[in-house]
Structures are given as C-alpha cells and as structure tokens.
Amino acid sequence: MKRSIRTLVGVLSLSLAVPALAVAETWVIDTAHTVSGFTVRHMMITNVTGVFEATKGTIEYTPGDPGSVKADIAIETKSVNTRISRRDDDLRSNNFFNAEKHPAITFKSKRVQNARPEGFELVGDLTIRDVTREVVLKVEGPTPPIRDPQGNRRVGANATTTINRKDFGVNWHRAIEAGGVIVSDEVKINIEIEAVEKKG
C-alpha cells in the first residue's frame, strides 16, 4: 500500500514538473499590411517591379518550434499593380496570368527545412495558372509578437524565392532585335507579411 502511494506521488510530481505542451497558434494575414512583390528583367537592361495588392491566408506555428510552421496563402491575380494601367491589363490577360480564369496564385506549405535562429526554408506547392510546382521560400522571421493599439497580437516575416515563369505556363515571349527578350523568364518573388493572431 505504501509503495503504491509513493508511486502515485512520484507520478504526480513528475507530471507537475513537466511544462504544458505548447499549443499551435493561427495567424491571419493582414491584407492591408502585406505586399507580394515581383521583379523581372526588361529588355535585358533593367529590372521592372510590381506588386499584388491582395494577399490572403493563414499561418500556423507553435512558438519556439520553427519546424511546425504551416502556411496557406492566396494572391489575387487581378490585384497586380505595376503603376502602368496598360501593362497591368496585359498581365491580367491570357498573355500572363489570365486573371479571369485563374483568379489566384496559391502557396501551400509541405515542410520546413534548414531552420535557424533568424529564419528557415519553407517548402511547398506554388500554383500559377493551374500549374503546380514545388518551390522553396527563404523565410526571415517570424518576429516576436507585439500588440497593436487595439490589443491584437501581430507578427511579421519576409519570404523570397526565384522561379522560371515558363515552368508555370506563363509563356509569352518576344525577342528583341539586339538579342535577348523583352521579358525575362526568371522572376524574383518577395512577400512582406504581417499577420494577426486569430482569436477563439
């Protein structure tokens, strides 16, 4: 009987000594403070940049465990903005994104690799024009949470990658007389994310 009591006390003591398991938190991307940008080479002589003004989605992770990060992101193709309306209309057309038929570019994470104190690599499926390829986002962050004036917890992160647009069916092409092309195949992507903790 005494042995049973001692065993029970030991088990209870051990359970109290082990901290509660961390719980995964869900963060909702704040569209108003998030920008998905891209850079392409124009006519082999300069870079042209643009943004998508509507990025939505969620990020889930357990504090202190970068390997737990999961992301589900959607970027509205019709929200493309390069500051030139004629060029934006062309990008929304079937020459490039075909925004009417393919309203979103999506990224769904699959796993984390090369985690380090300042960031990690997030491997996932990127889909453009219904073509899906695995890509690696190099992520800096997330930042430590802060509270905004309304009391909401917020975090930030930056994600970058480089793709070949033709791998995703964005095949518009025109050569220039001096050699080279008007629009490069390589596209650099940069996403500045701000997210708010989901309550409840």
User: Residue 6: inside a domain, yes or no?
Assistant: no
Adjacent-strand bridge partners of 104: 76
Domain encompassing residue 167: 19-197
Residue 7: inside a domain, yes or no?
A: no
Per-residue pLDDT of the chain (200 residues; tens, 9 = 90+): 555 545 444 444 444 443 445 688 999 999 999 999 999 987 667 889 999 999 999 999 887 788 889 999 999 999 999 999 999 999 999 999 999 999 999 999 999 999 988 899 999 999 999 999 999 999 998 888 999 999 999 999 999 999 999 999 999 777 666 656 668 889 999 999 999 999 86
CATH of the domain at 112: 2.40.128.110
Cβ 195 vs Cβ 155: under 8 Å? yes
Number of domains forming the structure of the chain: 1
- Single pTM value for the model: 0.85
Angle at 187 between CA 43 and CA 126, to 5 degrees: 155
Q: Is residue 104 part of a domain?
A: yes
In this structure, is residue 96 part of a structural domain? yes
Flag whether 5 is in a domain: no
**Residue 8 domain flag:** no
